[in-house]
Amino acid sequence: MVVYALWVINKTGGLIFDREFASGLPELSTNAFLKFASAFHTQHAIAAQLSPVPDCKGIEVIEAECFKLFCYETPTAIKFIVITDSTVQVVDSLLRDIYQLYSDYVLKNPFYEVEQPIRVEHWETKLAQLVGEWNV
């Protein structure tokens, strides 16, 4: 299994964190990442509203021929998006572990302002260790 990247989108659709863990993704500009975050946020909301099933949470998986995109939305509407290779079936535990690290190292950091870009070195270190365990 390969985890290519993690993106974190705030509740207004802004990209607050992006990190690449393995090569293989195309080179994108910062502006392209921001556009993707905004577009995904909008599509996620539309999918939740259009669902015939009550209490639908929106897009959880996008499956393409060569990759999968998994999304976990927290109770506070932060979205964690993980891009993996196409062989991966489930990453629920990885997404929950990432959320736990976010809660422990970002939200508890007295210098972090909620909804702003994440620049917490200890979180990035722990995140790299966690994803490293999955990239085997």
The residue behind tokens 């009550």 is 54
Q: What is the pLDDT of residue 68?
A: 95
Q: Which helix (H) or strand (E) holds 81?
A: strand 79-85
Q: Considering the entire predicted model, what is its pTM?
A: 0.92
Q: Does pLDDT of 124 surpass 90?
A: yes
Q: What SS3 class is residue 4? A: strand
Please compute the mean of the pLDDT values over residues 115-133 and round it to a whole number: 95
Confidence of residue 30 (pLDDT cuts 50, 70, 90): confident
Residue 23 CA to residue 26 CA, distance in Å, equals 9
